[in-house]
A and B are shown apart, each in its own frame.
Chain A
């Protein structure tokens, strides 16, 4: 497969690295000579210096035969032009990262029809959606849906309240242990085994039918406080859509904090209620004045990673129940755990996730990348595949993966080892280490 990636920033580099590791032919274009030079040594790909939005350059790079052209530069306009040009020249699929809501009109089909771009990724909007999901499911820090929303995968953090802490997974009777398919400790992900003994601070991954996920998470997390208030720090491209999504949902009361007066007014005018407050900085007094010690969640999503980490850490220390931070730059992710922040959300990961999902296409129908380097995938067991008729345990071994859930004829099954894989099953897989699983040859048609 030939892929042309325009823009060698964090996202572009991430996509190029992943796809190159999966043995695709990758061309990556960037205008910055230095960045291009640095990348040449890092990635096994054709690295080109130039303007990726130039139709001439795209044609020269063989866009006519490309399977995918994706625009992921800093500029929305450049991304859109690159995708449009790629489409015109004859690329099979085009993807553009677009951050400004003015360009997509809130509707996916709009960009497809009017711009002719196959797939538009809105990193901030998607991140806001992820954050809202996590907040609306008490106990979870991250929720993702698979199989047309039938299966939900949730990531929760064990607190002292959790009944799981200090017991072997196999010993639990109250919670069926096979809901739990993965554990993340100190940033390292492993597939859950019955001998694992979770401790406080571990991230636990569970899968269940969507209607049961709340109950399952509730069991695992222990009793969670039922506070209704949420503080959103920063009314930017993530904070504003997040505030609007949370507003009025599930009795949630939102307070959005913003330090820029103009932005604060802009945001306030777009909310249903007057829930935006203008606060210069986040110190202890300000946070306490807004009741940070009694909130269900504190979300730091200002433009600056450092400010987010600091605010979330502050809030955690003051007693906020769930503290989430948006962290764009990879080098900060190790800090998240160290500062006691419950979870970090990265627009960059969300973007890469969305684009990689569309590239892998074919057999992979859904994907959720975890910060620790693990991934959750949705694949379909195709007729005549190697796993057909085999037990879930065997299939997992062939593919070096873990089958967390499967959907058969609309029914969600949380499988035990003996369960047989049948053709047409939709499987939710967990890979502790990204890229090593042998998904294609196990579940794809021969």
Chain B
């Protein structure tokens, strides 16, 4: 028995029978996305066909072989750590393969740049190195949008939804990719939960497409923008982002779908099932909406009061769009917020940390963590006064376990440590302070635009090569909520043990 277990990989750091199907499934999804872009290139006839057809033709058979080779394994010994590795490898593989079209077509020349662009896409960050989007072929633009859309709810969630279940392994990977402080499962079988999330996602994508069309976008712009809006990604087909359309209707539609993308997707499904099951998630939703409204109000007043004063209507329009775009970690731009006064700029920086709700496509720390952190901090202060009180972490009547308290506090300290160390590192490779801190914050919180040289109207071309590699890693860490990636950096993870 012992020998057979070892042969299945339990003794080694990598549990191949778990990793291979997930990576293969991910590559299959990426390959299919490329095939769609190849079709798009053929229709548009702009010469980008080979850049997609060739990698797709290579990746799809490889993925098929990978899936077929593990199909017969029914029960695979599984360790807690295997899910983390599988998910992280799947994302890295997706980003690597996704970089190929940028290189092959020549949109980006250095492999590092292509990898950055691809990772920025899959993690729904929206930071770009492409200077003039209007000069790019349709297929490249569509590919950027598709990477964001695949990464939005999650590639592994998609794999779990579609691929035949592999037992325990799928659950761990599902929750390793999905954001949140607690495991929120909707159905008996995790694959059904994944199907529901993707079903909701597809439904909103379809609805958003219709809405963008109705607001006056062309079909190509509409499809691209809904893919990146519902994923709260922020890639646009225009260099000037949403500002290029200069349309109130389009901005409103964008706002609505960014807000939708920032809400827990499980919540929509629960809403269909009746109000009772919704209750645990309402406090977070309420806080999320309150944050958006209050921040919009503050920024609007700041803009009205500022010296370069604009009309109240425009102030509201600009601030609402920017606040929603930044808080939901989308990163679309209609106004250059670097022209705002310092107060409003720093408020934007703070909102980047908040992010959307857990279980949404948005990045950031997530509203529920912010609520829990505030509660935990207040309780810690109160504990100094009343040391014998039994402190229960509670948000809106919902009780969270002490493990969640520890997890949230650990998450926050690691998050802040990454920001601090990252800022110093970025400054070390020659960036100014504003650029260094905001590029780290914008990448870790998967926003996209920051301040300084990576500001609203700029792109990331000012960042040196090693900086791009580092920021790509931050994006991945931010998308997978830090722990999934960080455990791979611990020696214990790679030690041979049975646990």
Complex Cα gap A267–B392 (Å): 10
Q: Identify which of residues 15-56 in chain B touch chain A, using a CB-to-CB cut-off of 8 Å.
A: none
Complex Cα gap A5–B296 (Å): 69
Complex Cα gap A265–B392 (Å): 8
Determine whether the beta carbon of B379 is less than 8 Å from that of A274: yes
Contacts of A258 in B (CB 8 A): 390
Complex Cα gap A264–B397 (Å): 18
Specify the chain A residue showing the minimal Cβ separation from B399: A269
Complex Cα gap A268–B382 (Å): 15
B415: min CB distance to chain A, Å: 26
Specify the chain B residue showing the minimal Cβ separation from A263: B390
Given known A-B contacts A269-B399, A272-B397, A277 and B392 have beta carbons under 8 A apart: no
Specify the chain A residue showing the minimal Cβ separation from B400: A269
Specify the chain B residue showing the minimal Cβ separation from A268: B390
Contacts of B397 in A (CB 8 A): 272
| Per-residue interface assignment for chain A, residues 261 to 281, with 1 indicating a CB less than 8 Å from any chain B CB and 0 otherwise | 000110111011011111100
Given known A-B contacts A265-B392, A268-B392, A269-B392, A277 and B399 have beta carbons under 8 A apart: no
Complex Cα gap A243–B386 (Å): 19
Contacts of A265 in B (CB 8 A): 390, 392
Determine whether the beta carbon of B379 is less than 8 Å from that of A278: no
Contact of B389 among A269, A272, A274 (CB under 8 A): A274
Complex Cα gap A267–B389 (Å): 12
Complex Cα gap A264–B388 (Å): 11
Q: Identify which of residues 226-259 in chain B touch chain A, using a CB-to-CB cut-off of 8 Å.
A: none
Tell yes or no: B391 within 8 A of A by CB.
yes
The number of inter-chain residue pairs (CB within 8 angstroms) is: 30
| Per-residue interface assignment for chain B, residues 377 to 398, with 1 indicating a CB less than 8 Å from any chain A CB and 0 otherwise | 0010010001011111010010
A293: min CB distance to chain B, Å: 17
Determine whether the beta carbon of A278 is less than 8 Å from that of B388: yes
A184: min CB distance to chain B, Å: 38
Specify the chain B residue showing the minimal Cβ separation from A271: B392
B439: min CB distance to chain A, Å: 41
Specify the chain B residue showing the minimal Cβ separation from A261: B390
Specify the chain A residue showing the minimal Cβ separation from B397: A272
The residue in B386, B389, B392, B399 that gathers the most chain A C-beta atoms within 10 A of its C-beta is B392
A240: min CB distance to chain B, Å: 12
A310: min CB distance to chain B, Å: 20
Determine whether the beta carbon of B388 is less than 8 Å from that of A279: yes
Specify the chain B residue showing the minimal Cβ separation from A258: B390
Contacts of B391 in A (CB 8 A): 268, 274
Complex Cα gap A338–B263 (Å): 63
Contacts of A279 in B (CB 8 A): 388
Contacts of A269 in B (CB 8 A): 392, 399
B376: min CB distance to chain A, Å: 12
Contacts of A274 in B (CB 8 A): 379, 382, 389-392, 394
Contacts of B382 in A (CB 8 A): 274
Contacts of A277 in B (CB 8 A): 386, 388-390
B207: min CB distance to chain A, Å: 39
Complex Cα gap A278–B386 (Å): 10
Complex Cα gap A272–B386 (Å): 18
Q: Identify which of residues 338-393 in chain A touch chain B, using a CB-to-CB cut-off of 8 Å.
A: none
Complex Cα gap A278–B394 (Å): 18
Complex Cα gap A274–B375 (Å): 12
Contacts of B388 in A (CB 8 A): 277-279
26 A-B residue pairs with CB within 8 Å:
A264-B390, A265-B390, A265-B392, A268-B390, A268-B391, A268-B392, A269-B399, A271-B392, A272-B397, A274-B379, A274-B382, A274-B390, A274-B391, A274-B392, A274-B394, A275-B389, A276-B389, A276-B390, A277-B386, A277-B388, A277-B389, A277-B390, A278-B388, A278-B389, A278-B390, A279-B388
* Interchain residue pairs A-B with the least CB separation, the first 9: A268-B390, A276-B390, A277-B388, A268-B392, A269-B399, A264-B390, A277-B389, A278-B388, A269-B392
Q: A274-B382, A274-B390 are in contact. List 12 more A-B contacts (CB 8 A).
A: A264-B390, A265-B392, A267-B390, A268-B390, A268-B391, A268-B392, A269-B399, A274-B389, A274-B394, A275-B389, A277-B389, A279-B388
Q: Taking beta carbons and an 8 Å cutoff, which residues of A are in contact with B?
A: 258, 264-265, 267-269, 271-272, 274-279
